[in-house]
Amino acid sequence: MRRNLALAHALNNQLPGLIGRPVTGILITGTALAPAFQLPDGWDWVLLPGVAKGSAGYLPRNLALPMHELVPLRARLLQATLAGFSPHLVVVDRHATGVHGELEIALRRARTAGPVRVVLGLREVLDSPAAALSEWAKVGGPRVVKALFDAIWVYGDPAVHDPVASGEIPFALRKLIRYTGYLAEGRPSVSGTSCMPGQYCMTTVGGGSDGFALARVAVAAPVPDGLGHLVVAGPQMPAEQLNDLRQQARPGVRVVSTVEDIVFHIRHAGAVVAMGGYNTVCEIMSTTVPALIVPRTQSRAEQRIRAASLAAAGYLEQHDIGTLTPEILAGWLAARLGTTVDRRRAVLDGLIRVPQLAAELLRPLADSDQFSPDQANSELANSDLANSDLISADQFRADESVAAARTKDGASRVAV
């Protein structure tokens, strides 16, 4: 969600100047916490029933439904959303056809219904090549992907890790691929205030559902007098684990579930310890703060591959959770405090490159006047409201004029 929210802000801020038209959009998510985050002006959330990944695969996060009922429900909601919103640009995150294929019909109908460009956005690391290729096969392989998508944006720097060369993305899709660089620089800072009163180091474990092992080491690591240690456990860490961390925390350690502005806290920390999720790594890469990455060892190989590639490039350090102790972590923190890391060689301006790529896709639609107010007026005239006996002709013409004014210059509609 943090990645897509950063994309939304970048598109909203930069795309109007590139195509000469305003932008409005929706962010589609299954994360119930999403509405707590600040949206760009002119954007709104669409919440789907959530799913969570367990040891047996994806399961409903909250609803007491079997997956064979939840998947069709999500599919119908996605179809209605895209059909009702009629986006000009759709950016699909990671899963080409949804977690269980629930997005495919919605995308096919959107492509049939009107002018739309559809993009698949991928992290720079997917998984081990064998696991990644198995997932491509499940969505139908390159043939289906080429039919659904106009482009594939890879949010990384191929000089650090190239998922085509590694075998994570089929070679047959290479002509669709555009490398954006990491979505690092330019992530919005929300509050600009710290929850720590003085100098501090920081440990963050992402969402927290699988971060207890690292957080437990962090709260037990001794820190020098006068230095605080902020441990961000994540909103998805179970309450009993969060309570255990607080009980075990050494003096100077503050354990919180979340912070209002993670980017600000990373930027002002003396050193950062984190797992290897894409968003956290991007937030670290936008700073000069020294970082130790302790990647997830279960489920996907994604975090291990990312940590190894960035460590090989000299941008951070890595350590395996199986051999990390509080004493080792304390030693690393003491050695890195007061130092900086130069990451300027990495391509970190993906949030500038993405709007440029979006503009390249949308300009043909704009040049052919397919964003014109006439389209909005036609949709309104064909609606149930226009046919209602309860609305007078004069009132309908007034409503139509308002709709035309609101869609003046044809706002570009984006769904992420």
Q: For position 383, what pLDDT does the model report? A: 35
What pLDDT is recorded for position 396? 29
Q: CA-to-CA distance for 162 and 230, rounded, in angstroms?
A: 34
95-111 residues labelled b (16+ CB within 10 A) or e (exposed): bbbbbbebbbbbbbebb
* Predicted local distance difference test score (pLDDT) of residue 400: 34
Check if the beta carbon of residue 266 is closer than 8 Å to that of residue 239: no
pLDDT band at 369 (very low <50, low <70, confident <90, very high): low
Average pLDDT across the chain, whole number? 89
What local confidence, expressed as pLDDT, does residue 341 receive?
98
Q: What is the pLDDT at residue 370?
A: 62
* Inter-axis angle of helices 129-138 and 141-148, nearest 10: 60
pLDDT, tens only, 226-249: 999 999 999 999 999 999 999 999
**Selected residue with higher pLDDT from 261 and 46:** 46
- Does 385 have pLDDT greater than 90? no
pLDDT of residue 36: 86
Contact 410, 375 (CB under 8 A): yes
Average pLDDT value for residue range 217-221:
98
Give the mean pLDDT of 350-365.
Answer: 95
Mean of pLDDT values over 391-403: 35
What is the token pair recorded at 186? 């330019």
Q: What is the share, in percent, of the chain residues with pLDDT greater than 70?
A: 89
pLDDT at position 405 over 70: no
Q: Which positions ≥6 away from 239 have C-beta within 8 Å?
A: none
- pLDDT higher than 60, residue 201: yes
**What kind and span of H or E run contains 153?**
strand 151-155
Please report the pLDDT score of residue 403 as a whole number. 34
Q: Please write the tens of the pLDDT for every residue from 104-129.
A: 999 999 999 989 999 999 999 999 99
CA 382 to CA 299: how far, in whole Å? 50
Whether 28 and 81 have beta carbons less than 8 Å apart is answered as: yes
pTM for the predicted model, two decimal places: 0.88
Specify burial of residue 38 (Cβ count, 10 A radius: 0-12, 13-18, 19+): exposed
Instruction: Identify the residue with better confidence: 191 or 15.
Output: 15
| Residue 387 pLDDT exceeds 50 | no
Please compute the mean of the pLDDT values over residues 43-53 and round it to a whole number.
94
